[in-house]
Chain A
Amino acid sequence: MRAADEAEAAVGRRVAAVWRIESARIVAALARDVGDVGLAEDLAQDAVLDALRQWPVDGVPSSPGAWLTAVAKRKAIDGWRRRERLDERYAAMAWDLESRVDDGVPWDPDTIDDDVLRLVFISCHPVLAPEAQVALTLRLIGGLTTEEIARAFLVPHSTIQQRIVRAKKTLRAAHVPFEVPERREYPERLSSVLGVLYLIFNEGYAASAGEDWMRPELSLEALRLARSLAALVPREAEVHGLVALFEFQASRFGARTTDTGDPILLPDQDRTLWDRTLIGRGSAALARQDALGRGRGFYGLQAGIAECHATAVRAEETDWERIALLYEALGRLAPSPIVDLNRAVAVSMAEGPAAALRIVDGLVASGRLAGYHLLPSVRGELLARLDRSDEARAELLEAARLTGNERERAVLLRKADALP
């Protein structure tokens, strides 16, 4: 590679790093000034192209984020100037914005935080479909390129591009204002933001498509965004619960797969590979939630369960009694047969198989998990522990018939075969 090309490539990487760090603030600051998130993002992208041309020649400015913002604002002004002959309104907008272009001045931390928060709420606005909220959040708040988002979700690049273009149009058509929701709708809107981050994290944690069992980069991005959000709204208890949940789950990434990519389940994981830094951060986040004195919600309760696993040095030391109680609380808050099934597993570890079987039989009678392979799988395990081998065998074979996963089927058949 020629030296000039190499220098250009180095600047390209530098621009990418600056963009990742500053994009949310750049787009947020622009959105406040031009009043349109879609336009703000387009202007910021144009400014990045300018940076790629100019920085190799002029050097990288001392405050790169402010430079990009100022250039983008000038582009907005130029655009309006070209249209002012058609409409006087544009002249006024250009004049107004011109008075507020401040080249190279660092951010005012308080204003910019508010702007970023507005951007978060807009990206997760309820007028958008969940997949549009996810794409827009990763694009505007995470600063990911459409290629990166497409790769993370294993869909064609054009699909993500269209999704983002449509999302911007939807926001414009719905006249969604650039503001933090008012008190009345705040809890619901915040929970929609948390839901979007939860969706992103889980897509990476248990990939729903593709060959990999998980895609840690996507989950780590959700973790990063959740930590940012917690810094923006530190008084919101459930944000800390969400952060804690992500920290605990992410702490196990290094231990969840074999060298060949096969899943390793929790009891069999090498716990020395768990990331102690993240576990510590998870506990700290939960402590922050508890300190706010409003109790734990949907995410905080799940984080509490994850913490029980994360802080058990050996699988045998797991506090199953506590886990069973947390599942019970979770089941009351957000009733779900899956939660009940998980509670049954915890009860079987804490109190024994007979108590757990009563819960599972209740689930069978309700018919709510009909066709779900883990129901006969768990029931089979419990019956096996109660020495009811013939019934256990029938359940395990039924589970093997129902599962869609080949590896899991093999394990179930082996278990059935090993019964006395």
Chain B
Amino acid sequence: MKYMLIMRSNDEAVEAYEEIPFEQIIEQMGRYNESLIEAGVMAAGEGLTDASEGVVVDFSSTPPTVTDGPYGETKELFNGFWILQVSSREEAIEWASRCPLGPGSKLEVRRVTELSDFPQDNEWIQKEAQWIADAERAKADE
């Protein structure tokens, strides 16, 4: 099973990070990532650039509004993620708790859905399978 570790940090964490030499942060995170790779559990992972470079598309109104980052009221920002392939929820939690993060940072541990999570007799799931099959047949006929 796969779990996503979702990293969020608030201002306190961001300020604390500014105190620590960048080299040191890179090294600690590098060691952590290395341990995930060595354990054979790392499926994917990415970090995100600063929220000030991002925008938010808000669906509270129609059409949705587009606002520049860092998103006004938001207290915690999403900064990156890992996807781990592990054998249990506890194993995912154990890995999450080893991440070199400090006060103000959080890791949310969420299981990634698998096909078996969806009802196979659902009309839309079946339809989607049909669409894919039709599209492939059409391409093959070309």
Contacts and interface: CB of A to CB of B under 8 A. Distances in A.
Contacts of B136: 314
B14 interface: no
The 7 A-B residue pairs with the shortest CB-CB distance, nearest first, are A227-B40, A224-B40, A17-B90, A231-B38, A17-B94, A17-B91, A228-B40
B114 interface: yes
B71 to A, nearest CB: 29
Contacts of A108: none
B140 A223 contact: no
Interface stretch (B5-13, B18-26, B80-88): B80-88
Interface residues of B, number: 27
Contacts of B114: 254
A18 B115 contact: no
A21 B94 contact: yes
A227 B34 CA distance: 12
A227 B90 contact: no
Interface stretch (A27-35, A269-277, A291-299): A269-277
Interface of B: 31, 34, 37-44, 83, 85, 87-88, 90-91, 93-95, 114-115, 120, 129, 132, 136, 139-140
A109 B43 CA distance: 22
B132 A223 contact: no
Contacts of B91: 17, 20-21
Nearest to B83: A277
Contacts of A113: 38
Nearest to A64: B94
Contact of A14 (B31, B39, B42, B94): B94
A278 B139 CA distance: 26
Interface residues of A, number: 29
Interface in A185-238: 217, 220, 223-228, 231-232
A96 B103 CA distance: 41
A227 B84 CA distance: 13
B88 A17 contact: yes
Contacts of B140: 314, 316
A277 B43 contact: yes
Given A228-B38, A270-B129, A272-B132, 14 more contacts: A13-B88, A14-B90, A17-B93, A21-B91, A224-B41, A225-B40, A227-B40, A231-B34, A231-B37, A231-B38, A231-B40, A254-B115, A270-B132, A316-B140
A113 B35 CA distance: 10
A270 B134 CA distance: 12
Nearest to A143: B87
Interface of A: 13-14, 16-18, 20-21, 109, 113, 217, 220, 223-228, 231-232, 254, 259, 270, 272-273, 277-278, 281, 314, 316
A224 B132 CA distance: 32
Nearest to A15: B90
Contacts of A227: 37, 40, 42
A281 B90 contact: no
Nearest to A13: B90
Nearest to B136: A314
Contacts of B44: 277
A217 to B, nearest CB: 7
Contacts of A17: 88, 90-91, 93-94
A144 B136 CA distance: 43
A16 B85 CA distance: 16
Nearest to A24: B39
B43 A18 contact: no
25 contacts: A14-B90, A14-B94, A16-B90, A17-B91, A17-B93, A18-B94, A20-B87, A21-B39, A21-B94, A109-B31, A109-B34, A217-B87, A224-B40, A224-B85, A226-B40, A227-B40, A227-B42, A231-B34, A232-B38, A272-B132, A273-B115, A277-B43, A277-B44, A277-B83, A314-B136
Nearest to B139: A314
A120 to B, nearest CB: 12
